[in-house]
Each structure stands twice: as C-alpha cells, then as structure tokens.
Chain A
Amino acid sequence: MPLLEIRDLCLDLHGTRVVDGLSLTLEPGQSLCLVGESGCGKSVTALSLARLLDSPPASYPRGEIHLAGQNVLQLDSRALRQLRGAVVSYVFQEPGASLNPILRVGSQIREALQIHRPEAANDDEVLRLLRLVGIPAPEMRARDYPHQLSGGMQQRLALALALATRPQLLVADEPTTALDVTIQAQIIDLLRRLQRELGMAILLITHNLGLVADVADHVAVMYAGEIVETGPPDSLLHDPSHPYTRALLASVPDLHTPVTRLLNIPGAVPTPGQWPPGCRFAPRCPISRPSCTQVHPQLLPDPHASPPGRLTRCPWTSPSTAVPG
C-alpha cells in the first residue's frame, strides 16, 4: 500500500484554481521530486498533505489525499494535529522561519519531543537528534540560539526538529535553495542518508534539475497546476518526452556540458486563472499543432519511453522530435 496517494486533487485559492486534477503516489521509504517553476502549484500541493493552508482561502472542490491510511481532506482539526508531526514533517527554504528565535536549540527540540514523544523528552534524545543531522559539538550547540548558527546549521537544526517526531514522510520544500553549493551538497547527502537509515519517505520540492538526479527515485514535472510528465529520474532527464521538460533542461546551463546558447522559452508561465484552453504549454511549444490549443491532453503512458513507467501529457512526443534551439 502506498504511503501517500493523491487522486485527482483540485485546489482553489481565493476561488482561483491553482492545482488541477493532480494524482500521484509515493511508496514508504521512497523519494519523489516535484519539479517546476514558480506558480506551477508544487508548494501548495506539498502544503495540502497536512492541510497547512488556511481555508478559506484554500478549498478543495475535488479529489482525495490518502496519507498513511487516512483520508486527509476529511480529517477534523484534532486528527490533523495527530497527523502533523507523527506522520508528516516539513522543512522549508528558510530554516530561520521555522525556528523560534528566543528558544535555545536544545529547548526547541525538547519542546517538539514533549508534544509528540513525551517519553523521549530528555537530553540524550536531544543530543542524539543533533548528532543525527551532523551538528558538530552538540553539547555546546544545544545552548546556542538559532541566530548564532550559520544557514547550513540552521537547516540541520530544522531537520532535527522535523525528525524529532519520527515522521514517515518528510516534505522538503526547496531545502537547499538558500544555501551555498558546498553546504547544499552536505544537506543533500544528509537527506539521502536519513532516507536510507530511517526508512523515511521524502517528498522534495525543487526547481533545481541537478538535485532531482541526485535525490529522487521518481520525478514529477509540473506546469500550470498539473503534472505534465513523470518517471524515474535517469530516463526522464536523459530522454524527456514532454516539450516543457525538454525546454526546461535546455534552458539550464550544465557545468560539464557547455553549450553556446541557452534555450529561450518564448513568453512566460501563465498565471493561475489564465491558463490557456487545450494544452497549457501549447502557446510556448515549438512542436504544437492546431489541435493542441483545443483538446486538453491527458497524462498517459509514453509509448516510446524505455523502461516503461513513464507518463506524459504530450501526444506528439517521440524520441526523435528534438526541440529546435
């Protein structure tokens, strides 16, 4: 049984559709990357898993979220409090925002333990968690305030807090975007180690395609509120089938394979409420056909992909249709 199953989820904010018919599954202990640009709906999808969006303005006109056997959209506030922490924890881009500035590092972790695992609310467990996330000299650091830590150490602390409750699913929303590359590499390495050692599932939200390759067992690319392509990372990144994924890959420089010019995707990502009819990428797509602007395509198995297990929303894709530069 999957740990997380989202079926046909629709999310409106202030009456405007921002996530539209999204379905995905995540098995226990696996990692899934949601990739896309600002406004594609990836972060609000992640926040919906523990119903962290206030309603109103958020409303869910359609769809279901099943997390660890619970129907999330039907839970009352008491059951939701149980779900948060015990089943799913979050880390965000700005670790400072999830830390209490006037509580010492050790007290913050102890507080989280007291709420979720009162039997373990002791110094030994606090130090064990600090060690688990690689904070050096934990006895000393436990007496520090968050502002005394660097950005990388703050993110480790946020991770320790998220792990204090022993979640089955860790949602990491752009956890390394604010960090330097060498620190980013340390945090990504730590996430992979934690996934392996604790058997915890990870949902990673990112715009960085390089990180996807490093972390994910499975990738879903989002555009304008929906998934346009999913699959295992190596095959998807190496041979993308949706024109948006291809364009995205061609617009990022890669350190090891220099190109003379980056791909300019014409136009801009459409804002929610202004999604074009038919295929939402069609107005910017180099291979669009007249029918693309009329029929909204479904997410279907890609007949050309090998190995199988790839879904794409583009009916015209084939391994040989290259995106003209």
Chain B
Amino acid sequence: MPLLEVEQLKVHYPLRRGLLGRVVGTVKAVDGVDLTVNAAETVGLVGESGCGKSTLGRAILRLTPPTSGRVRFEQEDLLALSGRDLRARRRRIQMIFQDPFGSLDPRLTAGDSIGEALEIHRLTPHRTARSTRIAALLESVGLTAAHAQRYPQELSGGQRQRIGIARALAVEPRLMVCDEPVSALDVSVQAQVVNLLQDLQRSHGIAYLFISHDLAVVRHLCQRVAVMYLGRIVETGPTAEICTAPRHPYTQALLAAVPSLDPSRRLRRLLLPGEMPSPIHPPTGCPFHPRCPVAEARCRTETPLLRTSTDASHRVACHLVPSP
C-alpha cells in the first residue's frame, strides 16, 4: 500500500470580477491529479511557475482546500477528517518551504520554534525533556545545541533551512512535502541540505514529495518523478527513465533547456517557444499544444489522458505517443 495516494485531486478557484465580486469563471490550478508516494521514497514534482505544483503540495496537507478528489494517507481519507483527527493525522505529514525566513517566527529563538511544534502536538510536556529533545534534533540536522538560543535573523539561509527541517522532524513525520527547499540557497549550501535530506531519509525512513523546478536536483534525489503542466501531470515514471528517455514533448523541451556542463550537450539545445498560458484561459485539447513542435489537429480538440507507455510505471499524456 502506498503511504500517500492522491486520486483525481482538483483545486479550482473562483475568478471574481467587479465590486460585487461576481464569479466570472474558474482557475483550474490543479485539475485531476493522480499521485502516489511510497514509504521512505522520494517523488519529484517538477514544472514551471504556475503549473500548480505548489498548490498540489498544499492541497495534500489541506493548507489549500481541494475542490474534489481524494487524498489517502496511511489509508485514511484526509479530506473526510476534521478537527482533532485531522490535526493528529496531519502531524505525520510536514511541510518545508523555500524561504525558511518566512516560515520561522522572528520573535522566537530556533529552540522555541522547535519547542512550539512539540508543544502543539503534546510530544514532550516536560521542560527538561523538551530541551534535551531540541538539542538532539538540532544535532540531527547538523547544528549544535547552542543554535537553540539564536533568532532567525542571526542565522544564515542554510542554517535557517536546517531549523525548518528540525522543526518538521520534531513531530516524527512519515512524509515531508518539500516546496523548493534548496532553491534560495547558494550551491555549496544547497549540496549540504540535499545531503542532509538523503541522510534523514536513510536514518528515519521519511518519504519526500519534492517540489522543484530544478531538474538536476530532482534527478539526484528522486526515485520517481511527475511532470506538471497547467494543472495536470503530463508524464510520470522512474526518474532515470524520464531523464534519459522522455516521451512527452514538454518533458523533452524542459530537459533540453537545462544548462549542462557537458560541451557536447550544448549544441542540442532545443528552444521551446512562448510561455505557459494563463490557467484562466487554458487552451482547448492538450494544454501544451500551442507550444508543441509536433502538435496535430486532434491535439487542439481532444485532451489526452495519462496512460501507460513503454511499461506500467511510465505514463504519458500525449496523443502522439503510441500505446504499448
């Protein structure tokens, strides 16, 4: 059984106009996504700004209310829970963000921030036990007990991200939704945090849903990957296979756009024209067809479904990819 099972999840926002806030349409930020994450596995969610990847991550935790669909975590439907049950369940899923400065309270020391998480979930009620636990958590993310006294503004970006991870770890999650956790960091600091995430997975058996626009980092960290475009998954499968033999024209273009240190790769750069359309006015048919170099007539009218390609684990939503 997968740890997390997302079925046909939709997040639609009403589009309001004018003084009276009349609803004139809907923005389909996430439009029917299926996704699974197994225990102790890392699944990458990639795509460009506005493709809905962050909204999907937030909707899984119900930080953004989903419009319809199902989110099963440890075999329980998260969308059917409320109040105390939801809080207890949600403890097992934690989120870390791109900018830890925005998610840490500037008036709390690092230790207090972590302690707050312990307190909310009533994990270590006694003061002495709590400070021992905080020190252990700080050490597990590569900091020292002394960092507990520091305020966020006294810490570097990498240290703040480590505090964010320690706070998430405090409540013993089984799944961490990581939304661009290393994008704001310098390259050498990024490597330190990426290595830390790998170490924590090994020692604590945590699963990650790793949301990122950086395909090289995703290839490095993730066993499986899902590529999103305009609220839908257009291709998903084992990361190595998607990165070496992508089937969807969008995935191919996305991979080709990544700068490479290998000089032989540079000449093969494929430039994708245009930009992702606004989800307010999505194209008919395949959402990618206006930018697609191989689009045909039916791509403009029929929306392709995500279906299996070469093998059962690799699925593609493109009319032009032949069925097995």
Instruction: List chain A positions with a Cβ less than 8 A from chain B.
Output: 37-38, 150-153, 180-186, 188-189, 207-211, 213-214, 234, 237-238, 247-249, 251-259, 261-265, 268-269
Q: In the bound complex, do residue B259 and residue A252 qualify as a contact, i.e. CB atoms below 8 Å apart? A: no
Q: In the bound complex, do residue B259 and residue A210 qualify as a contact, i.e. CB atoms below 8 Å apart? A: yes
Task: Give B188 Cβ to nearest chain A Cβ, in Å.
Answer: 5
Q: In the bound complex, do residue A237 and residue B261 qualify as a contact, i.e. CB atoms below 8 Å apart? A: yes
Q: In the bound complex, do residue A265 and residue B191 qualify as a contact, i.e. CB atoms below 8 Å apart? A: yes
Q: Which residues of B contact A261 (CB under 8 A)?
A: 195, 198
Q: Number of B interface residues, CB 8 Å?
A: 39
In the complex, the chain A residue whose C-beta lies closest to that of B215 is A255
Check A214/B259 contact, CB under 8 A, given A253-B216, A253-B217, A269-B188: yes
A170 to B285, CA, bound (A): 42
Q: Which residues of A contact B79 (CB under 8 A)?
A: none
> Which residues 159-198 of B have a CB within 8 angstroms of A?
186-192, 194-195, 198
Task: Give A65 Cβ to nearest chain B Cβ, in Å.
Answer: 27
Which one, B191, B243, B269, contacts A262 given CB within 8 A? B191
A263 to B189, CA, bound (A): 10
Q: In the bound complex, do residue A255 and residue B191 qualify as a contact, i.e. CB atoms below 8 Å apart? A: no
Q: Which residues of B contact A152 (CB under 8 A)?
A: 275
Which one, B213, B220, B275, contacts A181 given CB within 8 A? B213
**Does B18 count as interface, using CB distance less than 8 angstroms?**
no
Which one, A151, A188, A251, contacts B188 given CB within 8 A? A251
Q: Which residues of B contact A209 (CB under 8 A)?
A: 187, 261
Q: In the bound complex, do residue A210 and residue B195 qualify as a contact, i.e. CB atoms below 8 Å apart? A: no
Q: In the bound complex, do residue B48 and residue A182 qualify as a contact, i.e. CB atoms below 8 Å apart? A: yes
Check A255/B219 contact, CB under 8 A, given A182-B253, A214-B266: yes
Check A262/B156 contact, CB under 8 A, given A255-B258, A255-B260: no
Q: In the bound complex, do residue B271 and residue A258 qualify as a contact, i.e. CB atoms below 8 Å apart? A: no
What are the interface flags for B234-263 relative to A under an 8 Å C-beta threshold, 1 for contact and 0 otherwise?
000000100100000000011111111111
Q: In the bound complex, do residue B186 and residue A185 qualify as a contact, i.e. CB atoms below 8 Å apart? A: no
Q: In the bound complex, do residue B49 and residue A254 qualify as a contact, i.e. CB atoms below 8 Å apart? A: no
**Does B298 count as interface, using CB distance less than 8 angstroms?**
no
Q: In the bound complex, do residue A248 and residue B260 qualify as a contact, i.e. CB atoms below 8 Å apart? A: no
Most chain-A CB neighbours within 10 Å: which of B191, B194, B262?
A: B191
| The 5 A-B residue pairs with the shortest CB-CB distance in the complex, in nearest-first order | A210-B259, A251-B191, A253-B220, A180-B48, A185-B257
Q: In the bound complex, do residue A251 and residue B258 qualify as a contact, i.e. CB atoms below 8 Å apart? A: no
Q: In the bound complex, do residue B190 and residue A251 qualify as a contact, i.e. CB atoms below 8 Å apart? A: yes
Check A207/B187 contact, CB under 8 A, given A185-B271, A262-B195: yes
Which one, B191, B262, B271, contacts A254 given CB within 8 A? B262
Q: Which residues of B contact A211 (CB under 8 A)?
A: 259
A210 to B48, CA, bound (A): 19
Q: In the bound complex, do residue A248 and residue B188 qualify as a contact, i.e. CB atoms below 8 Å apart? A: yes
Q: In the bound complex, do residue B220 and residue A185 qualify as a contact, i.e. CB atoms below 8 Å apart? A: no
Q: In the bound complex, do residue A37 and residue B186 qualify as a contact, i.e. CB atoms below 8 Å apart? A: yes
Q: Which residues of A contact B189 (CB under 8 A)?
A: 37, 268
**Does B16 count as interface, using CB distance less than 8 angstroms?**
no
Q: In the bound complex, do residue A255 and residue B216 qualify as a contact, i.e. CB atoms below 8 Å apart? A: yes
A208 to B49, CA, bound (A): 19
Q: Which residues of A contact B188 (CB under 8 A)?
A: 37, 247-248, 251, 265, 269
Q: Which residues of B contact A251 (CB under 8 A)?
A: 187-188, 190-191
Q: In the bound complex, do residue B263 and residue A252 qualify as a contact, i.e. CB atoms below 8 Å apart? A: no
**Does B69 count as interface, using CB distance less than 8 angstroms?**
no
A252 to B186, CA, bound (A): 10
A256 to B257, CA, bound (A): 12
Q: Which residues of B contact A258 (CB under 8 A)?
A: 219-220, 240
Which one, A183, A184, A237, A263, contacts B191 given CB within 8 A? A263
Task: Give A180 Cβ to nearest chain B Cβ, in Å.
Answer: 4
In the complex, the chain A residue whose C-beta lies closest to that of B199 is A261
Q: In the bound complex, do residue B262 and residue A257 qualify as a contact, i.e. CB atoms below 8 Å apart? A: yes
Which one, B195, B259, B262, B265, contacts A264 given CB within 8 A? B195
**Does B158 count as interface, using CB distance less than 8 angstroms?**
yes
Q: In the bound complex, do residue A262 and residue B259 qualify as a contact, i.e. CB atoms below 8 Å apart? A: no
Check A213/B260 contact, CB under 8 A, given A180-B49, A207-B187: yes
Q: Which residues of A contact B258 (CB under 8 A)?
A: 181, 210, 255
A150 to B276, CA, bound (A): 10
Check A189/B260 contact, CB under 8 A, given A151-B49, A207-B187, A262-B195: no
**Does B200 count as interface, using CB distance less than 8 angstroms?**
no
Question: In the complex, given contacts A182-B253, A189-B271, what are 15 additional A-B residue pairs having Cβ atoms less than 8 angstroms apart?
Answer: A153-B275, A180-B213, A182-B275, A185-B259, A185-B272, A189-B269, A207-B186, A208-B259, A209-B187, A213-B261, A252-B190, A254-B260, A255-B216, A257-B262, A268-B158
Q: Which residues of B contact A210 (CB under 8 A)?
A: 258-261
Which one, A38, A182, A249, A254, contacts B257 given CB within 8 A? A182
Task: Give B267 Cβ to nearest chain A Cβ, in Å.
Answer: 11
Q: In the bound complex, do residue B260 and residue A185 qualify as a contact, i.e. CB atoms below 8 Å apart? A: no
Q: Which residues of B contact A252 (CB under 8 A)?
A: 187, 190-191, 216
